[in-house]
Amino acid sequence: MNEREKILARIREALTVQAPFPGEPRAPGQQRPSPAQVRKWLPPAADSFDEQLALFRQNATSLKADFYALNLRDELKSRLLALRDAEDWRKIASHSGELTDLGVSALGVPVLKTDSGYDINELEKCDAGITECDALIAQTGSVLVANRSAGGRALSVLPPHHVVLARRKQLLPDLPAAFELLKQKYGCNYPGMISFITGPSRTGDIERILVLGAHGPRKLTIFFL
């Protein structure tokens, strides 16, 4: 027997004795909570689009992320330019995408693209990483990214400023909705990495005092178009 078989055999042997179920016995098929049930237990998410937007804004703000809902795509360019000047971006990184292409084109600084192989040392030198995303989650103020939709694994976490460009229709009410989306979108072929990003990187490891920018970005800016 190899190690795998040995461990599995020990597990099967152990499980011959039943352990009591921790609650009311369930009918078969009733065994797991539906997303609708989970939704009723978690912190409330709003129903209408406007309420969800307000909730996302409120959560993002309390997480110390910057959130801007923009009306015109032109406005995106001017906002990005303002950031570039305020933070003196010399070089940025991004990936190909409808929104990222639009945003990056206006910046006039060198852009490292992370769509295919790239040099980590170069990415480390970038002042900002601009990505798209899979969804925004109102309930938690999170940005959902996957390596397929957001330029790989490192782009959204290595540069000191992560700028997210999101579309109106990407706003979701809550976590159950986010997992439904993942299932629909990726089915049984999940991407190598999926991440819920909830605010800029942080730590409380020194006397539980909040410090932003532990290892990941110190700043997270979300543009909602």
Partner 1 sequence: MSRPVQQFKAQAELSTHNLRLRATIQTALEKYAVVRDTNRRAFQDYQAARQAAAEIKWEAINHLDRYLEQFVSKLEARGTKVHWAGTGRLAREIILGIIREKKARSIIKSKTMTSEEIHLNEALEREGFEVVESDLGEFIVQLNKETPYHIVFPAMHLTRGEIKELFNRELAADASDNPEELTRVARRVLRKKYVGADIGFTGANFAVADAGMVSITENEGNARLTAALPKTLITLLGIEKVLPRLEDLALFLPLLATSGTGQPLTCYNTMYGGPRQPGESDGPEEWHVVLLDNRRTELLADAEQRDSLHCIRCGACLNVCPIFRNVGGPAYGTTYSGPVGSVITPHLRGWQDWKHLSFSSSLCGACTETCPVKIDLAHHLLQNRRKAVTQKSSLAGKLGFKLFAFIFNRPRLYRRVAPLGRLGQKLHPLVKGTRLDPAYAWTKSRATPQIAPRTFREFWRERNLHEIQQRPMQETKGQNQI
- Which 25-54 positions form the footprint of partner 1 (CB under 8 A)? 26, 31-33, 35, 37-38, 40-44
First to last CA, the chain: 58
Cβ 216 to partner 1 shortest distance, Å: 2
Cβ 165 to partner 1 shortest distance, Å: 18
Q: Residue-wise over 167-191: b if at least 16 C-beta within 10 A, else e? A: eeebbbbbbbbbeebbeeeeeeeeb
CB-wise, 68 or 179, nearer to partner 1? 179
For position 92 contacting partner 1 by CB under 8 A, the verdict is no
Q: In whole angstroms, give the CA distance from residue 222 to residue 205.
A: 26
Q: In whole angstroms, give the CA distance from residue 57 to residue 140.
A: 10
For position 120 contacting partner 1 by CB under 8 A, the verdict is yes
CB-wise, 76 or 112, nearer to partner 1? 112
Restricted to residues 58-77, the positions that interact with partner 1 (CB under 8 A) are 59
Nearest to 166 by CA among 86, 78, 85, 57: 57
Among positions 70, 91, 118, 185, the unique one binding partner 1 when judged by CB under 8 A: 118
Residue with the two structure tokens 């006397």: 207
Cβ 75 to partner 1 shortest distance, Å: 28
For position 82 contacting partner 1 by CB under 8 A, the verdict is no
